[in-house]
Chains A and B, each alone.
Chain A
Amino acid sequence: MPTLNDYLVLSAILFAIGAAGVFLRRNLITILLSIEIMLNAVNLTFVAFGRSMGSVDGQIIVFFVMTVAAAEAAVGLAIVIGLFRHRESLNPDSFTSLKW
């Protein structure tokens, strides 16, 4: 049977992949997707710990994390659309000025 440690290691690998995506990629959409990968890695940790402790709280926190992820995706994608309208680019390096 897989133990709690197996799930935590899997979650750590997924979180590191998401962090690497945020650091390495130069595309705003891919950066937002990497944030979703990190949120899901944390969700897996919550559910694994909740299963380990036999409590229901882990699954409830996952519910709230998903709500926040939905709100974050909606607002973040709206900002991306607004930025793309101004600069015709998705590269974060092209958004260096505070006002244009």
Chain B
Amino acid sequence: MGSDALFYVFGAFAIAASLLVIAQRNPIYSVLLLIASFGALSGLYVLLDAPFVAVIQIIVYAGAIMVLFLFVVMLLNAPREDTQHDERVLPLLREGPTRFGGALAIALVVELLWALTRRPQAGSFAGAGVSSVSAIGRSLFTDYGFAFEATSVLILVAMVGAVVLARRDPVIRNRTATRGGR
């Protein structure tokens, strides 16, 4: 079956790209690989009869949020990750809390796979999925109208917060100026 093979292709691509995201030392490559992973996830949404989610995944996530990340990475211009320990050593063999991090990640994978394989096996999806954008829009603006308006306030607060947080503090700038700093 075509869609069967496509699921495995997109799934393998998403997993490989996500693994490479956390394996890269240069954040620019991480961001670009994450965009590739989002493309594969968008293909999975199409397979799940959710074209609206697939499109906003590409437009909003890959097009807006990841470009924001890319801007910040290039603005900071700090590609090297400065760590005390040697990056080439496997995480489980390093000393300190990093080893616990690796052990926790492995434990999480084992637990999730254990829980999912003990779940009763569901067959393939029954019936047709809701894929029409008009149904999504009607539900979004009626049943979820309050939540929709609340997200607009959330976006406004985040915008104001980002501007305030990233602004240069005038007090600090004056102090460094009188001190003859940079």
CB of A70 within 8 A of CB of B64, answer yes
Chain A residues near B4 (CB-CB < 8 A): 1-2
Residue among B22, B91, B155, B163 making CB contact with A34, cutoff 8 Å: B22
Knowing A14-B14, A69-B61 touch, does A89 contact B136 (C-beta < 8 A)?
Answer: no
Knowing A16-B108, A51-B50, A71-B155 touch, does A10 contact B161 (C-beta < 8 A)?
Answer: no
Please report the total number of B residues contacting A with Cβ < 8 Å: 86
Chain B residues near A69 (CB-CB < 8 A): 61, 65
Residue among A23, A44, A52, A60 making CB contact with B104, cutoff 8 Å: A23
Give Cα distance in the complex from A23 to B8, angstroms: 28
CB of B27 within 8 A of CB of A29, answer yes
Chain A residues near B98 (CB-CB < 8 A): 23-24
CB of B48 within 8 A of CB of A14, answer no
For the complex, is A98 an interface residue (Cβ under 8 Å from B)? no
CB of A37 within 8 A of CB of B27, answer no
Chain B residues near A58 (CB-CB < 8 A): 50
Give Cα distance in the complex from A23 to B109, angstroms: 13
CB of A51 within 8 A of CB of B129, answer yes
Give Cα distance in the complex from A43 to B65, angstroms: 16
Q: Mostly helix, strand, loop or mixed at chain A's interface?
A: helix
Chain B residues near A32 (CB-CB < 8 A): 69
Chain B residues near A14 (CB-CB < 8 A): 14-15, 18
CB of B102 within 8 A of CB of A56, answer no
In the assembled complex, the CB of A80 is this many whole angstroms from the nearest CB of chain B, namely 7
Number of A-B contacts (CB under 8 A): 238
Residue among B27, B38, B119 making CB contact with A40, cutoff 8 Å: B38
CB of A12 within 8 A of CB of B112, answer yes
Please report the total number of A residues contacting B with Cβ < 8 Å: 73
CB of A40 within 8 A of CB of B41, answer yes
Q: Which of A12-49 contact B (CB under 8 A)?
A: 12-21, 23-27, 29-30, 32-34, 36-37, 40, 43-44, 47-48
For the complex, is B181 an interface residue (Cβ under 8 Å from A)? no
Knowing A10-B15, A73-B68, A74-B162 touch, does A5 contact B119 (C-beta < 8 A)?
Answer: yes
**A residues bordering B, Cβ < 8 Å?**
1-10, 12-21, 23-27, 29-30, 32-34, 36-37, 40, 43-44, 47-48, 50-52, 54-60, 62-64, 66-75, 77-82, 84-85, 88-91, 93
| The 10 nearest A-B residue pairs measured at CB | A23-B101, A20-B105, A71-B158, A21-B22, A1-B124, A78-B165, A12-B112, A78-B162, A78-B166, A2-B7
